[in-house]
Amino acid sequence: QVQLVESGGGLVQAGDSLRVSCAVSERIFGSYAMAWFRLASGKEREFVATITGTGTNAYYTDSVKGRFTVSRDDRKNTLYLQMNSLEPDDTAMYYCAAKHGETSSLRRQYEYWGRGTQVTVSS
């Protein structure tokens, strides 16, 4: 069973940067595509970013392009989301997820989920 544990969330001001991490329980890189989703109050869980198993390609939702960067460290079995120029609309619980095969922006295709880390951006 793959276990995912997010960390690094917190309270920041608009314009600040923050990096959240996702520790993975086993060596899945190369076999699993990884992604970040977020859930804001009153909204559905939405796709943020995904990265291929090899780490060579990454894809983002339009609202974070140019501000967020997803990456992975194979040695540490860790997924990252670097968030710059944060905005109050980025306030949400951030979840990492894993799936076999190709990347996807569809949450129903992801097999494993963490419990989330809260990011709050004040104006």
pLDDT tens string 61-114: 999 999 999 999 888 899 999 999 999 999 999 999 999 999 999 999 999 999
Give per-residue pLDDT as tens, 57-69.
999 999 999 999 9
Strand pairing class (10-13; 117-122): parallel
DSSP 98-116: EEESS--S-GGG--EE---
Nearest to 82 by CA among 21, 37, 39, 10: 21
Q: What's the average model confidence in pLDDT over 8-16?
A: 98
Average pLDDT over residues 20-48: 90
Q: Burial-class residue 101 by CB neighbours within 10 Å (0-12, 13-18, 19+).
A: exposed
pLDDT class of 30 with cuts at 50, 70, 90: low
Would you call 84 helix, strand, or coil by DSSP? Answer: coil
21, 4 in Cβ contact below 8 A? Answer: no
